[in-house]
Amino acid sequence: MTQVFHTVTAMRDAVERAAQDSPKQQPVVSIVPTMGALHSGHAGLLRAARNSADIVLASVFVNPLQFDDPQDYQHYPRQLDHDLQLLAQHGVDCVFAPGLEEMYPGYPEGPLIRVNTGKLGQRWEGASRPGHFDGVATVVTKLFTILHPPAPAVCEAWFGQKDAEQLAVIRRLVADLNLPVRIRVLPIVRDKNGLALSSRNVRLSDEDYDAALSLSRALFTLAARAESGKTLDVEGLRDHLRASGGVDLDYLVVVDPNNLQEIAHGVIHEPALALIAARVGPVRLIDTMDLRPALSPPQ
């Protein structure tokens, strides 16, 4: 049965009990952090976590620290009852769903101490949304601390490849701060037309939805060009997106997956990552794709 906790103390007690009651000597505890408004992308994370762990913990918390736009925070979809049903269906053992005051006493002054993600947190999404990755890193550090099971249990946490920059920041956070959590990754989940699933998609009109498909199309084009050894011509794709209606392109870049620095737009010879962000209707959407170089030069 899925249990739901709203306070840090109750959640910590539950994690400790679950680890102690496990028949396994060294149970694997998986954490799946979310902001709720769950969709099939989150369901994929929950399934993967359930398949690989003895105990699955999920969190539902819309983290104000990672929103630079108050309107976006205010309008972010919140549907805890629906989320709890989905979490129960996926066999989650415990859900942490704290209120704002429980997570950040004294907000907005608190928390006084926050994680600084440095240069890594200032690229692309971080440049367009100042403070976003510091907010992500702060909440993830807190969640890891609250949900971490006592030894000898092993702790892992699942994240989606969709938020590729976030993933790079979290990997670095875990390495730099020696957080005892193993990071696991789920490939991006798309709808039947290729649009990356996102909680924000519910705010797209039919027209917005059609326009939004041009984001993933651009990424699929880049992946096909990379694999066939052709020049990527990112600039041409940017021009095309800027000329097409309904999409206000922020960035489309090809980066080194390790440091997120932009790489040349010719033919790639090493795996790379394409990142895109655009405003479509009332929301900002992001998407990403792995680019693999051609195995042998084209004839």
Residues within the interface to ligand AMP (CB under 6 A): 34-35, 41-42, 44-45, 159-160, 162-163, 186, 188-189, 196-199
Nearer CB in complex with ligand AMP: 78/292: 78
Nearer CB in complex with ligand AMP: 68/235: 68
Nearer CB in complex with ligand AMP: 126/160: 160
Please state the closest distance from residue 79 (CB atom) to ligand AMP, in A.
12
Nearer CB in complex with ligand AMP: 141/198: 198
State both tokens at 289: 């794709």
Nearer CB in complex with ligand AMP: 35/234: 35
DSSP 110-128: --SS----GGGGGSTHHHH
Q: How many CB atoms lie within 10 A of CB 75?
A: 13
Please state the closest distance from residue 289 (CB atom) to ligand AMP, in A.
12
Cα separation, 141 vs 170, whole angstroms = 9
Cα separation, 227 vs 295, whole angstroms = 8
Q: CA geometry: angle at 100 spanning 36 and 188, to 5°? A: 25
Cα separation, 97 vs 66, whole angstroms = 17
Please state the closest distance from residue 62 (CB atom) to ligand AMP, in A.
9
Please state the closest distance from residue 186 (CB atom) to ligand AMP, in A.
5
- What residue number has its CB nearest to ligand AMP? 160
Please state the closest distance from residue 155 (CB atom) to ligand AMP, in A.
16
Nearer CB in complex with ligand AMP: 20/51: 51
Catalytic member of 6, 42, 82, 240: 42
Q: Is the peptide bond before 27 cis (omega within 30 degrees of 0)?
A: no
Q: Which residues contact 66 (CB under 8 A, 6 or more apart)?
A: 131, 132, 133, 135, 136, 139
Query: H or E stretch including 59?
Result: strand 55-60
Asked if 109 and 68 touch (Cβ cutoff 8 Å), the reply is no
Give catalytic status of residue 42 as yes or no.
Answer: yes
DSSP structure class, residue 66: G
Please state the closest distance from residue 195 (CB atom) to ligand AMP, in A.
9
Question: According to DSSP H, which parts of the chain are helical?
Answer: 8-21, 40-52, 70-75, 80-89, 100-103, 125-128, 132-147, 164-176, 206-227, 234-243
DSSP 190-205: B-TTSPBP-GGGGG--
Q: Which residues are catalytic?
A: 42
